[in-house]
Structure 1
Amino acid sequence: MPNVISILSVMLLGLAVMAFQPSRPSGNNEKEMDKADSSPNDARPTKKIGHSQTDIIVVGDIQYEIEKNGTEKVCFGLNRFCSPKVFSIEGNNPKIVIDIKNVSSWKGKSMIPVNALLIRQVRSHLHRAHNKLRIVLDLSPSMDYVVEPLFYKAEGVYCIAVKRK
Structure 2
Amino acid sequence: MRLTAILLTVLCLALMPFSVSAEKGKKEEKKLTPATVKNMGVTKDGDVELFCMDFSNPRVPDLQTIDDEANPRVFFDIPAIAEWKGQSTYEIKGSLIKQVRTGYNGKDKKLRVVIDLAPVYNYNVEPSFDDRYNLFCVAFSARSVR
CA offset at residue 20 of structure 1? 3.1
Question: SS where residue 73 of structure 1 aligns?
Answer: strand
Q: Which amino acid aligns with 1:75?
A: C
Q: Does 1:71 align with 2:48?
A: yes
1:158 is matched with 136
Higher helix share: 2
Which portions of structure 1, spanning 4 or more consecutive aligned residues, are displaced by more than 6 angstroms? none
Within the alignment, does 1:123 sit opposite 2:101 as a pair? yes
Pick the aligned partner of 1:56 from 17, 31, 34: 34
Matched with 2:27 is none
Contact 1:58 1:104 in 2 (8 A): yes
Contact 2:43 2:49 in 1 (8 A): yes
Does residue 88 in structure 1 map to residue 88 in structure 2?
A: no
Give the total of aligned pairs: 126
Retained in 1: the 8 A contact 2:92–2:99? yes
* Secondary structure, aligned partner of 1:76: strand
For structure 2, the 5+ residue unaligned runs are: 20-29
What do residues 7-66 of structure 1 show as CA deviations (whole Å, max 9, x unaligned)? 646xxxxxxxx9336xxxxxxxxxxxxxxxxxxxxxxxxxxxxx68x6212212311100
Contact preservation (8 Å) 1:60, 1:108: no
Structure with the bigger percentage of strand? 2
Q: CA deviation at 1:71?
A: 0.5
CA RMSD of aligned residues (A): 2.3
State the AA in 1 paired with 2:51: V
What is the Cα deviation at residue 103 of structure 1?
0.8
8 Å Cα contact 2:58/2:134 also seen in 1: yes
Structure with more relative contact order (C-alpha pairs < 8 Å, separation 6 or more): 1
**TM norm structure 2:** 0.76
Q: Which runs of 5+ in 1 are unaligned?
A: 10-17, 22-50
